[in-house]
Each structure stands twice: as C-alpha cells, then as structure tokens.
Amino acid sequence: MKFKLFGNLAYDLRRNKALMAMVLPVVAYLLVFAYAPMVGAVIAFKSYNFTSGIFGSPWVGFNNFRFFFISGKAWQVTKNTVLYNVAFIATQNVLEITVAIFLSEISHRYFKKITQGAMFLPNFISWVVVGAIAYNLFSYDFGFINNVLTSLNAPKIDVYTTAKYWPHIFVFLSAWKHVGYGSIVYLAAITGISSEIYESAALDGANEWQKIRYITLPGIQSTFFVLLILAIGNIFRGNFDMFYQLVGNNGLLYNATDVIDTYVFRSLLTTYEFGMSSAIGLYQSVLCFVTLIITNAIIHRVSPENALY
C-alpha cells in the first residue's frame, strides 16, 4: 500500500509534472495552514510560553484538559453548542422544506424569483451587519421591539442583560439568515423529481397533501440525509460569527450563550491561556471527527448510497 503510494507519486513526478504543478499550490497551502497546526496542537499538552515556543515549552500531560473539565466550563459550553445546533437543525430543516415545497408549487415566475431573492438576502450580509440589525431590534432604550411593546402598554424587555431570551433570538436569527440558502437546496431536489410521477398521481386522484406526503417528501429524503450528516458532523462546532457578533464580551449572558468556539476565542485573545484554549480546541476537533466517522458508518450500514464517502 505504502510502496504503491510512493510509486504513484514518483510516477506522476516523472510523467505528470504539469498536473503535479497544478496541485502544488493547494498542497503547499494545506501543509502550512492545516497540517502544521495539527502538529502544533501538541501545545494542548504543554505549558506554553512565548520565549520557548511550541516545541520548547515544558510538557504538562493532561493538565490543560483537567483544568478545563474541573472548572465546569467544559460541560456548559459543550452542552450549549450541541443544544443550539440541534435546535437550528430542527427548525431550519422544517422551514426550508416547507418553503421549498410551497415555492415549487407556485407558478408565477416573477413572484418566485423576487421572494426567493428576498429570502436569500440575509445570507448575503456579514454577521457584523446582523449584529447592528439585532441592536436596532432589541436595544432597551430605542429598540424596535421595545417600541412596539411600549405602544401596546406591555413592559419592555431587557434583552442584553437577560439570558433567557437568547435561545429564542439565536434560533430566530439563525433561521432568518440560513433558510433562504437551504430552501434553494431543497427546491433543487424537488425540481429533480420527475413530473410524470406527479401527473400519474393526479390521475389516480391524489390530492395536494397526498402528493407531498407520498412523492415529494420521499423524493427529497436523500438530500435531507446528506445535509443531516454534514450538520451532525459539525454538531460540536458553534457558529462563531453569530454568537460573537450578537453577544460579544457580554459576561452577563455567557451561561446561555457561550459555545465552544467563543470560549476558545476569548481565552485566546483576552486571557492568553494558550495551553488551555488549544486543549479545548483539540477536544472539539476530536469530538467532531469521531462523530462524523460514526454517523457516516451508521449511514453506510442503513443506506449506503447516502453515505458521505
């Protein structure tokens, strides 16, 4: 196996110099920016200091990990990350599939184009801008929502100091930003279903709901599974941009809003705990890797044609 690998590389270096040159930039880039940090991840087992660098710093075994787990933070941020992702996957898939089914049944071309465009617009802007939008909506003094509440004689809500609102806000804003994208994916899958199936179902007297239940939903099943595996493979990865832009360094909300990624980022940039934050990063990478392998193996067994690799 190994022998063959070197044989192949040697062959291509001799006979396919141009093709080798074509992959070289990406291979070199990944060696530096992806594989070197994997080696550098050894600082998770070290007490890092600047003067000795990554390889000169003393080994501390699993101390960095132990510290993270004893502090209770490990459980909290992992739980937040997973629960948020589960909520996002569930709400967004339901919304995306509903939007896609409805759009596929609408025949006005311009209506379809304009509404689809509007729904994709939130995907187009950065989370920085979403942060500004959220402030505009939720600010205690001037926010639109509080404005509406006041005019209804309801008490104002103080979103930026109250943790309990945030799960709802994140689920809403995440759906707001992503449903347009996902519905295009599902719409493409629905368009791929042969129209003959629908026609013969109509001849047999199937109504709209039956067509959806027995033709459309089974037809988009494999798309759903592919998206699901990808989402589950990333279930331990928080959407850093969203959590950081909406909450930032607002310590009052950490209990409800801190995910692994924001925690690592903060301990890197504000407390400079390189050893511990890289331990958390490594813990996250290993969790993601293992989950993806297991999910893919299960899918391989249940329905091999939907497996990722």
Partner 1 sequence: MNRNKNGVYLSRDRKAFNALAYTFIVLITIICLLPFWLVVIGSFTAESEIFSRGYSMWPHEFSLEAYQMAFRHPDEVFRAYGITVSITVLGTFLSLLMTTMCGYALQREDFRSRGFLTMFVFFTMLFNGGLVPWYLLITNYLHLKDTYWVMILTPLVNVYYIILMKNFMRTVPKALIEAAKIDGAGEFYIFFRIVLPLVKPALASIGMFVALGYWNEWRTGMLFLQEKSLFPLQYYLYRLLNSVEFLKNSTVVMSAEISSLSFPSESLKLAMTVIATGPIICLYPFLQKYFVKGITIGAVKG
Residues 227-246 that bind partner 1 (CB under 8 A): 233, 240-241, 245
Please report, as residue ranges, which positions from 237 to 296 form the binding site for partner 1 (by CB under 8 A): 240-241, 245, 248, 261, 264-265, 268-269, 274, 277-278, 280-282, 284-285, 288-289, 292-293
Please report, as residue ranges, which positions from 79 to 98 form the binding site for partner 1 (by CB under 8 A): 95, 98
Judged by CB under 8 A, the number of residues near partner 1 is 107
The single residue among 83, 86, 90, 106 that binds partner 1, judged by CB under 8 A, is 106
Long-range contacts, 275-279 (Cβ 8 Å, 24+): 275/43, 275/44, 275/46, 275/47, 275/48, 275/60, 275/63, 275/64, 276/64, 276/67, 276/68, 278/41, 278/43, 278/44, 278/48, 278/64, 279/44, 279/45, 279/64, 279/65, 279/67, 279/68
Closer to partner 1 at the Cβ: 46 or 85?
46
Closer to partner 1 at the Cβ: 41 or 193?
41
Q: Which residue in 169, 185, 172 sits closest to 96, CA to CA?
A: 185
Is residue 302 near partner 1 by the rule CB under 8 A?
Answer: no
The single residue among 49, 52, 71, 126 that binds partner 1, judged by CB under 8 A, is 126
Is residue 63 near partner 1 by the rule CB under 8 A?
Answer: no
Write out the two tokens for 67: 């510290």
Is residue 121 near partner 1 by the rule CB under 8 A?
Answer: yes
Cβ partners under 8 Å of residue 222, min gap 6: 189, 303, 305, 306
The single residue among 115, 158, 163, 197 that binds partner 1, judged by CB under 8 A, is 115
Choices 39-47, 74-82, 163-171, 251-259; region in contact with partner 1 by CB under 8 A: 39-47
Is residue 39 near partner 1 by the rule CB under 8 A?
Answer: yes
Residue burial 256-279, b: 16+ Cβ < 10 Å; e: rest:
bbbbbbbbbbbbbeeeebbbbbbb
Measured at the alpha carbon of residue 276, what is the angle toward residues 65 and 33, in degrees to the nearest 5? 110
Q: Where are the beta strands (DSSP E) in the chain?
A: none
Please report, as residue ranges, which positions from 139 to 198 form the binding site for partner 1 (by CB under 8 A): 139, 141-144, 146-147, 150, 176, 179-181, 184-185, 188-189
Task: Decide if 131 contacts 218 (C-beta within 8 A).
Answer: no
Choices 75-83, 85-93, 103-111, 158-166; region in contact with partner 1 by CB under 8 A: 103-111
Choices 75-83, 86-94, 121-129, 157-165; region in contact with partner 1 by CB under 8 A: 121-129
Please report, as residue ranges, which positions from 1 to 20 form the binding site for partner 1 (by CB under 8 A): 5, 8-9, 11-12, 16, 18-20
Question: Residue 53: which region, alpha, beta or left (left: phi > 0; alpha: psi -120 to 50)?
Answer: left
d(CA 150, CA 159): 15
d(CA 308, CA 194): 25
Choices 77-85, 117-125, 193-201, 251-259; region in contact with partner 1 by CB under 8 A: 117-125
